[in-house]
Amino acid sequence: MTLPTPPISEFNEFELSSDLLSAVKNCAYQQPTLVQTQAIPAILLGKDVLAEAQTGSGKTAAYALPILEQLLRYRATPSEDQIRGNHIRYLILVPSRELANQVSQEFYQYSRDIMPKINIRSVYGGVEIEPQIKYLQQNTDILIATPQRILALAEKKAVQFNYLQSLVLDEVDRLIEDSFREPIEALFKLLPTQRQNLMFTATFPQQVRSLIRQVLYHPVVINIKQQSQEQIDQHVITTNPQDKVAVLYSLIQQYHWQPLLVFCSTKKACDQLATDLQQKGLNAVAIHGNKPQEERENRLMDFKHGKLAILIATDLAARGIDFINLPCVINYQLPRVPNDYLHRIGRTGRAGKAGLAISIISPLEYGHFNAIEKHLNITLEREQVKGFEVDEQAPIQPYKKSRKKAKKPLSKKRKQRQNNRKKQQKEGVALTNKQRENDIDPIAPSKKEKTSVWGQKNN
Ligand code: AMP
């Protein structure tokens, strides 16, 4: 895969300071990627941005570089001295601790030549909050945070947003998940309404669309098609459930991918697979949400630095984490939702490298994989490994169109009542059930339309 050639072909065509340009040069980036070409000028102009860009498209630099440039410009203004203590200027919200660390590293990398130093900090849960409260007192320019922890810090008045300039929502499609909803709603109430909003999402589910309407103000929309998915060589191997470990082991022996990332859908399966591969003499380790934060970070670093050959992980490693030299990703178990399949395979084939993604499925997963293919509009040939072919007698999971439960048949009495009501509604003399229960004016906008879930627009 090669990164697409954009109309702006040089970093020095952007209005970036020499310190930033030299840092980019040091990273050996030949030219800006498509998302960078479009996002950097818009962000520098102070516009809201909505970018549909996958991880691997260079999206972190697409917002990090203009944010650092904005900061340098503020430094040059006389009012800068007033902003001190625990006030922050830029807040980057990310869904995981791993991504928080990775984003901060990119910010460090791009700001390495800037003097005086720009203070970049990251905060996330799973570690003590007190040290974070202390270091937030020492002037933070850019804060990278997970939603729950930043809210906890804000509630303790350890961080203040009066001078917040820009808010970045990285991996929005994950930030809209239920577990983040409450903290983000509460956090939005604390943020100034006048701010720049930058949203980056790899996929575009319906909730993201409604969020966009609520948060963004006349955004510049950047749509980088999902090129890398097409350029990752995808395979599906079918086998019996009891032969999956053997198939994985035989593939590893044959192809010697290193490093290799293997995904399971449960923590238990990760641990079991790690044990199975270790018993076969392989250097494999599992990480998942039950492992202590420090251990997760250390194993990830080992993996990135080539000290660990096989990393087995739940979907916590599926998003945002950047593995530049990862030749192959294996789905040992399938992800629950199709979009996570894209995130998982997006760990390989990054920054111009070739990628290979293999799903090992048993007949019990056929229906699930068919649903993933249908959702992503792809069809992959089923392959087998010699010696581990599927039993012809094996029970097959059929492809289910919808998970909706079949409705119970109504009793005679209820059916009669329902028919009467339908008749009355047709004649315009009755309210619908929902209108009756909630006393809703049928012409007024729905509650959903009237109130914003994630706060007001900043107009
Ligand atoms: P991201 O999409 O932010 O996860 O970035 C994926 C990888 O691409 C990171 O390792 C970046 O260092 C790298 N990268 C970012 N911008 C460029 C560029 N213009 N040229 C080559 N690699 C880049």
Mean pLDDT of 213-229: 75
- Encode pLDDT of 262-319 as tens digits: 999 999 999 999 999 999 999 999 999 888 888 888 898 899 888 999 999 998 776 6
Ligand 1 pocket test: pick from 21, 29, 226 the residue with the most ligand atoms within 8 Å of its Cβ. 29
Query: Edge to edge, what strands does the sheet with 196-201 contain?
Result: 120-123, 142-145, 90-93, 166-170, 196-201, 49-52, 220-223
Sequence letter at residue 389: E
Ligand 1 contact, 56 CB (< 6 A)? yes
- Encode pLDDT of 401-446 as tens digits: 555 555 566 677 777 777 776 665 555 444 344 333 332 222 222 3
Distant-in-sequence, close-in-space partners of 316: CB < 8 Å, separation ≥ 6: 96, 98, 287, 288, 289, 296
* Domain range annotation of the chain: 11-223, 232-383
- pLDDT value, residue 410: 67
This prediction has a pTM of 0.62
d(CA 112, CA 11): 17
Q: Cα of 3 to ligand 1 centre, how many Å?
A: 9
> CA-CA distances (angstroms) from residue 86 to 60, 131, 138, 199, 304?
24, 14, 7, 24, 33
Residue 324 alpha carbon, nearest atom of ligand 1: 10
Topology of domain 11-223, per CATH?
A: Rossmann fold (3.40.50)
Tell the residue nearest (CA) to atom 13 of ligand 1: 58
Ligand 1 contact, 89 CB (< 6 A)? no
Q: Cα of 142 to ligand 1 centre, how many Å?
A: 20
Contacts of 294-299 with CB under 8 Å at 24 or more apart are: 296/97, 296/98, 297/97, 297/98, 297/101
CATH 3.20.20.70 assigned to 232-383: no
Ligand 1 contact, 61 CB (< 6 A)? yes
Do the domains 232-383 and 11-223 match in fold? yes
Ligand 1 contact, 35 CB (< 6 A)? no
Residue 27 alpha carbon, nearest atom of ligand 1: 12
Tokens of 228: 């890398």
- Encode pLDDT of 41-66 as tens digits: 999 999 999 998 877 788 999 999 99
Q: Cα of 246 to ligand 1 centre, how many Å?
A: 35
Higher-pLDDT residue of 182, 111: 111
Ligand 1 contact, 98 CB (< 6 A)? no
Q: Cα of 106 to ligand 1 centre, how many Å?
A: 9
Tell the residue nearest (CA) to atom 5 of ligand 1: 58
Distant-in-sequence, close-in-space partners of 364: CB < 8 Å, separation ≥ 6: 241, 395, 396, 397
Q: Cα of 10 to ligand 1 centre, how many Å?
A: 15
Mean pLDDT of 96-117: 93
CB atoms within 10 A of CB 191: 18
Sequence letter at residue 167: L
- pLDDT value, residue 315: 87
Binning pLDDT at 50, 70 and 90, where does residue 4 land? very low
Ligand 1 pocket test: pick from 94, 107, 322 the residue with the most ligand atoms within 8 Å of its Cβ. 322
Q: Cα of 324 to ligand 1 centre, how many Å?
A: 9
